[in-house]
Structure 1
Amino acid sequence: MSTKRFDAKHIALLSILVALNYVGRVVFQFLPNVQPMTAILLILTLYLGVWDGLIVATLSLILSNMILGMGPWTFAQLFSYAVIILFTGFILRPIHSRRTKWIFVIFALLSGFFYGFVISLVSYRTYGMTNFWVYYSVGLPFDFAHALGNAGFYIILEPILRPLFEKLLKERTPNKKEAGI
């Protein structure tokens, strides 16, 4: 791990991603569950890791929920994103390469359903529901919209964000001359 982990460029990049998530959630609020945040967090986690994904997810949710509405669902959202980020970082990141882009598009699609499932699991008792499966099935159309949005945003944003993340990673990795090799 580099000693420049959180230098000014890295913090600026994370801040830009938080702002991008914030704007994306606010701009697309007219389409229920369709927003670029999940796709951005997946791409971020694949390239920069779990900690960066968790930082951006937490700050993005807190800031955007100040406008969109803060409530008990915020904790369910945080938990859902944390589970997705942890899975992405520890299971999928080791197999990540450009050759497997479509696997990650499919994962982005499935993560919309997984997000809805985890949120429903965390929140159905909060709202006084007694039958989880009925509660979950009512939200499936919204999960479907989230899933399609994730896949679409992943396809659009991955080629745009990848060069930024690769540049940051390249700058962080010392060359052989600097490392004394």
Structure 2
Amino acid sequence: MREVSKSQFISRIVMLSALTVALRFVFVAFPNIKPVTAIFLWVAYSWGLVDALLVMALSMLVSGIYLGFGMVVFWQIIAYGLVLAVWSKLLVPIFKFHTNFGKLEAVFAGALVFLYGFVISFLIAWQYSMPFFVYWLAGLSFDLAHALSTALFYPIIVTIFRRIL
């Protein structure tokens, strides 16, 4: 990975954040079916955890201003942060060391989204003093839609960004 200047680094973070915010607006009619998680995971894979966390946090904050800002935005940042940390510290080294796993990246990306759903369900249930398992089970269909869309979008995002960059 080549070294980039501060202005290139900031531009890269802002442009990817703007892209993810725009994509959240484009797919707003489809609950949990958005390519943003795939973009966050690709950034973590290609450029590292710090870049992915910055893109994710900026995206969530900016889109939260337009789509509705509340504690859920911070819960999203925490849940995505955990997912990105697991992805970049546990799975990416395996993908880079064992090339056989490279073909299964999309499957792992989709499966890891269930961690996001679990964490955000826990945080929201805690916030509203709801029974966690009831809330989590009620949202499993949304988690499944999120996981499937991430698994489907991930290879598309990887292909597009590899060609562009």
Please list, as runs of the form range in 1=range in 2, the aligned pairs for 1:5-154 lying within 5 A after superposition.
5-97=4-96, 99-129=100-130, 131-154=131-154
Give the Å deviation of 1:139. Answer: 0.3
User: CA offset at residue 5 of structure 1?
Assistant: 4.5
Structure number with greater CO (CA < 8 Å, separation at least 6) is 1
Cα shift at 1:92: 1.7
TM-score normalized with structure 1 length: 0.83
Partner of 2:157: 157
CA contact (8 A) 2:83 2:113 kept: no
The structure whose Rg is larger is 1
TM-score, normalization by structure 2? 0.91
CA distance in 1, matches of 2:35, 2:90: 22
CA-based RMSD of the aligned residues comes to: 1.8
Cα pair 1:41 1:57 within 8 Å, conserved: yes
| Shift of residue 55, structure 1, vs aligned partner | 0.4
Contact 1:21 1:37 in 2 (8 A): yes
The runs of at least 4 consecutive aligned structure 1 residues that moved more than 4 Å come to: none
Aligned partners of 2:138, 2:94: CA distance in 1, in Å? 35
Per-residue Cα deviation, 1:97-153 (whole angstroms, up to 9, x for no partner): 465333210111112211111101111021220x21111000001001101110111
Identity %: 36
Q: Which has the higher helix share?
A: 2
Q: Unpaired runs of 5+ in structure 1? A: 168-181
- Within 2, Cα distance between the matches of 1:94 and 1:156? 21
Gap regions ≥5 residues in structure 2 = none
